[in-house]
Copies of this chain bind each other. A is one copy, B any other.
């Protein structure tokens, strides 16, 4: 049978003090505050007994008493998507250092699911939320914020709000990846994107337009918008584009690029000999076969750490002044054959 758990009461008895003092010592230790209130020797003794008995605070009791769960919820589009999986792991690692536990969920770009997940998480009890908004979930997200639950948006923003968020400078990324293609000599460049109304997607499209326009190729601009649940349509888009003499594609997301590559293959074309492509983030397939002429490298780790730090700050601040912070991360363009270009620009931080 499992030996009974050690409680502060046991420590109090063993050290010959009251449980209140034990509690106080355990907590001041962590915070490093109130360093003089307790007799140094008594504190030492208590700490010694605690570690001798291998004391582990009971989370449920602490939560019940304090109302703080030390747990946060993270809702992404799809946790099995590498971009989000990697971010999730960063968040998890960093949360661990702050002694927070993380609950994960996937919305699958479905506002109903997202709303349900928020509900589930709130019932389980969370101190804050990091969420990748999906189309149609704006209302649900704003409601959370209104109820004063700390929240940080990731990867995408919600229009007409000033919630804290961590996003990429997608406009710039779109423009630069387009220019990379242009530098390689392509002029007939089209974009394949989603029909979803998402801030990041929209900005990437805008960036593509800017990149083309600045090179005097505004006339060639063409953006194909697919429904994310009808990816097979990409087949005919690509076939048609090829017939019209399109030389290169900019894919708005990695998933889209993978579907595009599959479609290109089904049509018997080779990459990059017959059709060139550029996309957002790389993946194993692209790495091995040197598929993409260039891609946007998103600073995955910073997405995670910045979002978590923002959230923790928001959770642990005492005062009610809701300062929202927007962090805009800088993209990096990686080109395949010529040595990579690494823009060292600093990021814009709006507070």
Q: Determine whether the beta carbon of B80 is less than 8 Å from that of A69.
A: no
Residues in B neighbouring A284, C-beta threshold 8 A? 258, 283-285
Q: State A80–B80 Cα separation when bound (angstroms).
A: 8
Number of copies: 2
Q: Does A130 sit at the interface, judged by CB under 8 A?
A: no
Describe A's contact surface by its main secondary structure.
Answer: helix
Q: A60-B60, A89-B79, A101-B124 are in contact. Are A2 and B288 (CB under 8 A)?
A: no
Q: Does A267 sit at the interface, judged by CB under 8 A?
A: no
Q: What's the least CB distance linking A330 to chain B, in Å? A: 24
Q: Does A243 sit at the interface, judged by CB under 8 A?
A: no
Contact of A79 among B85, B285, B289 (CB under 8 A): B85
Q: What's the least CB distance linking A233 to chain B, in Å? A: 18
Measured CB to CB, the nearest residue on chain B to A88 is B79
Q: Does A319 sit at the interface, judged by CB under 8 A?
A: no
Q: Does A1 sit at the interface, judged by CB under 8 A?
A: yes
Q: What's the least CB distance linking A146 to chain B, in Å? A: 10
Residues in B neighbouring A104, C-beta threshold 8 A? 92, 104
Q: Can you name 19 extra interface pairs (CB under 8 A) apart from A59-B123, A60-B63, A262-B287?
A: A1-B148, A2-B148, A2-B149, A59-B63, A59-B125, A60-B64, A60-B69, A79-B89, A80-B82, A80-B85, A80-B86, A80-B89, A85-B85, A101-B103, A101-B124, A265-B288, A265-B289, A285-B285, A285-B288
The residues of A with any CB-CB pair to B shorter than 8 Å are 1-2, 56, 58-61, 63-64, 69, 79-80, 82, 85-86, 89, 92, 96, 101, 103-104, 106, 120, 123-125, 147-149, 258, 261-262, 265, 283-285, 287-289
